[in-house]
Structure formats: structure tokens, C-alpha cells
Amino acid sequence: MTEVTAKRARGRPRSTPSEGKRYSISTNVSADTRTKLELSADRNGQSLAKEADDRIRQSLLDDEALGGGATAHALRTLAGVIWHIEKKHKKSWVEDYYTALAVQTALAQSVSTIFAPNPHQLDEFVLVDLVDRPGFHVPAKISEQVKEHERLREAAVMLGRSVGLGTIVKSKLGKDTSGGA
């Protein structure tokens, strides 16, 4: 017998996904997570399975809304920083100046850590520094690359400032018009 027989998969064959149909998955959760899910399911008047499905679906939508991947991870990290400071201060950063100052300081530190230069980009930063030194000769091609890097960097910084400022202005205007004074 030289024939190789393919291993038969165990269990029932998977059916193809169809819209609206629900599929079973198996997972283990801690007692605390199960208790929280059960309480939430009771509050929402639905089964434990439906509550878990809704939570998973919302989590996936949140990832998309936050930009997915590294962006979503960075934003969750920053939100976690805010949460820890508010927990320690027992006050909201929106309502307390000192909590807001702690949040601002921590976020600045966190952002500079998250956006630390890629080691592969360090050569570019060294070159930018060297181009400006008197008496140091940089080949024209590299000098042009450095100038382009500086132009793109300045454009990115200006875009960040304008978007950040625009968001703050819209937020303040929204509070002023909705708060009604």
C-alpha cells in the first residue's frame, strides 16, 4: 500500500457563512467576566450568548473606528493612562485642573514614547543635524533628501497643529452652544 490517504477532519464539516445566521464558538472566560456578562445581559433583556455576540461585534467596530491595528492600540493605551490618573485622583480630568495637568503631562510622555523614532530613521535625524553644521560637506543628493525630509516633517507638524486646534475649537464651540449660557 503505497497510497497516502488524507486524514479525515473530525466533527461536522463547517458550513459556509451566511448573513443573519449565528454560529457557535467555544471559549472560556473568568468567573468575573461571566458575572459581568450575565449582569449586562439581564439589564439588556437578552441571552448570555447574544450579549457576548454584541460585545464582540462592538469591539470589532471600535477597532475600525479607532483606525485599527497600531492606531487603535495607541489610542487605547492613551485612554488607559487617563483612566489610571482619574482613578488615582478620584476626579475627572474634565472637571479638575490638577487631574487635567497630570493627564496632560502623562499623555505628552506617552505620546513621545509611542512615537519614538524608528531605529531605521535615526540615520535621517543624524543627517539633518549634520547638514546644518558649518564646514561639514554633504553630497548634493543627500542634502536634497534632507531638505525634502524637513519639508515633509514641517508639513506634518503643521497639519497636526491645525487638526488639533480645529478639534479643540469645534469642541469648545459645541460646549458653548449646547451648554447655553
pLDDT tens for each residue of 77-104: 889 999 999 999 999 999 999 999 999 9
d(CA 91, CA 76): 20
| Confidence at residue 119, expressed as pLDDT on a 0 to 100 scale | 55
Q: What is the pTM of this model?
A: 0.50
d(CA 29, CA 21): 24
The mean-pLDDT minimum among 73-77, 101-105, 171-175 falls in 171-175
Indicate the Cα dihedral angle 74, 75, 80, 82, nearest 10°: 120
Q: Distance of alpha carbon 54 from its chain centroid, rounded?
A: 21
d(CA 44, CA 55): 12
